[in-house]
Structure 1
Amino acid sequence: MRVLHVVTLHTPTNDFGGPTRVALNLCKGLRRKGADARIATLGDKFTGPLPTEVEGVPSFVHQARHVLPAFEVSGITSPALLRQARRMVKSADVVHVHLMRDLITLPFALIALEANVPLVVQTHGMIDPTEKLFAKAVDVLGMKRVLRRADAILHLTRMERDGVQAVVPGTPLRTFHRLVNGVTPQDARPPRGDRPPTVLYLARVQKRKRPEDFVNAMPTVLAHYPDARFVLAGPDTGDLTGPMRKLAADLGVSGSLECVGALGHDEVLERLRAADVYVLPSVVEPFAVSILEAMSVGLPVVVARTGGLSPDVEAAGAGRVTDSVPDADNGPLVGRAVLELLDPAANEQASLAARQLVNDRFSIDAVVDTLLDVYAGVMAPGGAVHGS
């Protein structure tokens, strides 16, 4: 089976976050099961030649052209990649598009429809109703057509499914399938030993992920663990690292905060293994791969109750779930949750539960088995299959 995955952007430090990581994880899992899975994407911030494979996955990577800079990742494209798109689509048995309102994934999806190649789209929480004029124009020009005609639409949560459906009111979409994110199980992190406790934020540093709650949690934790270290890691997509440093200085805790910027995937795993608690304060977080990766090494997590993975974390005892709310200082809530998990017994218990949760429910092999069933359905005579 030949499968072409299309995702908007790949950089050396995974600036695009979840969608690219999901595409890579799925392709690696598919290849282990014998499928010829490849990725088409844009590349940016490479200092040398663009890669022809990413983490062992053959990849068609073309230089990103920032034709509409005001729209950031939605405004990048590559005429050279689009010129090859039809040939690439027609050589595939299934085209799997990690869909957003942009100038790469949407054109690939439309080309797949035109070429009558089975089309699977995965929206990653990025497609929902909007009042932005550019996005509304994109919906009229192509997005609604893709959603109506895709052979399968993959969603993570009921909220995501409802948001996609709301983009095409009056047309019931009957090809939804739930596909959770999955990660490769990892070796457990080593015991802390005598080193100071380390609390880690590792995700894009952007407003909706609320890094300020991470920083605001510091005084609560430092009052009990004065030598604790707080690491703020991840690409800064909102010019927030400077304000986070200032906030730490205003709180008198800047000496305990380390801002390390964007990291490659191997460095991500190293940081996760060297930490004691992972914190992602985002109030709106559909299904963060970073949470799964943290739990895969046995790192307990602190997450907001409104996150897509929070019910699983709470039920398994893999961390702590806070009642964080938008537009409020949730730092003390986060800080108290971190304190609970820095207790050695509680940390060990949550660590074991976290790894077990990933192994039982979110391993990439189990997710790929579900995906292969979806592919078989869309490739069968009759095409689109009704899902759940």
Structure 2
Amino acid sequence: MASLFDAAGAYGGPARVALNLTAELSHRGHVVTLAGATSGYDVVPGLVDGVACQWFPARTVVPGVGFAGLAAHGLLRKIRAEITEYDVVHVHLARDFVTLPVALMARHHKVPYVVQPHGMVDASSRLLAVPLDRLWTRPALRGASRVLYLTRTELRRLEEFGGHALPVALLGNGVPPAGDRAWPVGPVPEVIFLARLHPRKRAAAFVRVARRLLEDGVSARFAVVGPPGGAEREVQNEVAAAGSDAIRYEGPIAPDHVPARLAAASLYVLPSVEEPYPMSVLEAMAVGRPVVVGRSCGLAEAVERHGCGVTVDDSEESLAQAIRYYLDNPDEARSAGGRGLVAARTEFALPSVVDNLERIYHEVTSASEVRR
């Protein structure tokens, strides 16, 4: 389960990971139910990619704190009635009133459960977080059969927050195959930013760099795509200030349209700071597009190792140089994109990730049977 599934993909990576994992598990013959809060659908789907969905209307119980204030009306009642029937509960854990109660319910009923925080759980001094962590978040982590982490940085932060006795296991994100995607044809290449418009992701900096490159005579188009996340007004102001038809803010798109939209561009850029493990970068690699990411990104080492993109520091100068490099060297852009495609089909292939996840499920369910 995950906190929010919505038509615009506003919750980003954790929801996409939950969808990808459950679809692959279902394909392998497992009986899977995908639960969580939902919004934005005219008709809430009961089935997605062959997976049964129990999605309940999202409601805000604590205003002003974004996703952390969400709850799902009816979800807990449904889970409470069924929880002892599950072999394992997999919670894409966040500080909210959707996922935390389910983890604690599994703990109470002694049902094996796995939590996957996606870099969203670490020490915080925010007013809501302090009592929530003491009463719910730390107990949910410490009672889990496994705590899944993405990177060494996340592992360190989880252990600082929850203690070194956490039953941790490494599980990276995987990306499903996107099929063959031809290189875009046209006289002017397109550079795309596609992510939630959170200030940390620095879409406004992307627009400023795009404006600077255009003023320097670079021939390209630039697109910002993604749902609101707190920085949308700044982005819109920067686009308006640029005054160029070559820079556009397109707004959000449905998650299943993301691969095609990425494939229509020649370069994907995500200049985030401290981005844990962005699915959008893997999705760009899966359609054979080179990527530009921040050096603090959890995928930066892999991008450098596979030679499928460039990593940049937090300066706009560094970002401009990386974008210009690929625009000036289209053959290298295509080669880097090809290397990213190979990485997406090998190291980051979804089936390999689910192989590992099945082993984890087997370990925790076997241990539970022994205790019984």
TM category (shorter chain) comes to over 0.9
Deviation string 1:319-340 (CA, Å, 9 cap, x unpaired) is 111122xxxxx22221211121
Matches within 5 A, 1:16-35: 16-35=11-30
Structure 1: segments with no counterpart, 5+ residues: 1-5, 325-329
Deviation string 1:206-256 (CA, Å, 9 cap, x unpaired) is 101111221122144325664411110000110x33322322444x45322
- For 1:213 and 1:173, locate their aligned partners in 2 and report how far apart those are by CA, in whole Å: 40
- What CA RMSD, in Å, does the superposition of the two structures yield over aligned residues? 1.8
Distance 1:377 1:358, change over 3 A: same
Bigger Cα displacement from structure 2, 68-77 vs 173-182 = 68-77
Distance 1:304 1:274, change over 3 A: same
- For 1:193 and 1:78, locate their aligned partners in 2 and report how far apart those are by CA, in whole Å: 45
Q: 2:295 aligns with which of 305, 310, 320?
A: 305
The equivalent of 1:3 in structure 2 is none
- For 2:208 and 2:370, locate their aligned partners in 1 and report how far apart those are by CA, in whole Å: 48
Output the amino acid matched with 2:236.
R
Matches within 5 A, 1:172-191: 172-191=164-183
Matches within 5 A, 1:63-212: 63-168=57-162, 171-212=163-204
- For 2:225 and 2:235, locate their aligned partners in 1 and report how far apart those are by CA, in whole Å: 12
Deviation string 1:48-106 (CA, Å, 9 cap, x unpaired) is 23211223321001111222222221112134111112223222100000111111100
Whether 2:1 is the aligned partner of 1:9: answer no
- For 1:211 and 1:374, locate their aligned partners in 2 and report how far apart those are by CA, in whole Å: 37
The equivalent of 1:366 in structure 2 is 352
Distance 1:212 1:382, change over 3 A: same
Q: CA deviation at 1:142?
A: 1.5
TM-score by length of 2: 0.95
Output the amino acid matched with 1:332.
E
Partner SS state of residue 39, structure 1:
strand
Partner SS state of residue 32, structure 2:
strand
Deviation string 1:170-211 (CA, Å, 9 cap, x unpaired) is x42241001000011222432233331100000001101111
Partner SS state of residue 303, structure 1:
strand
- Residue identity over aligned pairs, in percent, reads 36
Whether 2:53 is the aligned partner of 1:40: answer no
Deviation string 1:280-313 (CA, Å, 9 cap, x unpaired) is 0002111000000000000100001111100100
Output the amino acid matched with 1:31.
S
Whether 2:269 is the aligned partner of 1:279: answer yes
TM-score by length of 1: 0.91
- For 1:383 and 1:309, locate their aligned partners in 2 and report how far apart those are by CA, in whole Å: 37
The equivalent of 2:238 in structure 1 is 247
Bigger Cα displacement from structure 2, 18-27 vs 373-382 = 373-382
Q: CA deviation at 1:129?
A: 0.3
Counterpart contact for 1:203–1:233, Cα < 8 Å: yes
Partner SS state of residue 367, structure 2:
coil
Counterpart contact for 1:220–1:332, Cα < 8 Å: no
Counterpart contact for 2:183–2:263, Cα < 8 Å: no
- For 1:205 and 1:384, locate their aligned partners in 2 and report how far apart those are by CA, in whole Å: 47
Output the amino acid matched with 2:229.
T
Output the amino acid matched with 2:282.
L
Counterpart contact for 1:204–1:236, Cα < 8 Å: yes
Structure 2: segments with no counterpart, 5+ residues: none
Q: 1:376 aligns with which of 324, 345, 362?
A: 362
Counterpart contact for 2:149–2:168, Cα < 8 Å: yes
- For 2:258 and 2:312, locate their aligned partners in 1 and report how far apart those are by CA, in whole Å: 24
The equivalent of 2:323 in structure 1 is 338
Counterpart contact for 2:141–2:166, Cα < 8 Å: no
Aligned length: 370
Deviation string 1:93-136 (CA, Å, 9 cap, x unpaired) is 00000111111100000110111110100000010001112111
Counterpart contact for 1:119–1:150, Cα < 8 Å: yes
Partner SS state of residue 119, structure 2:
coil
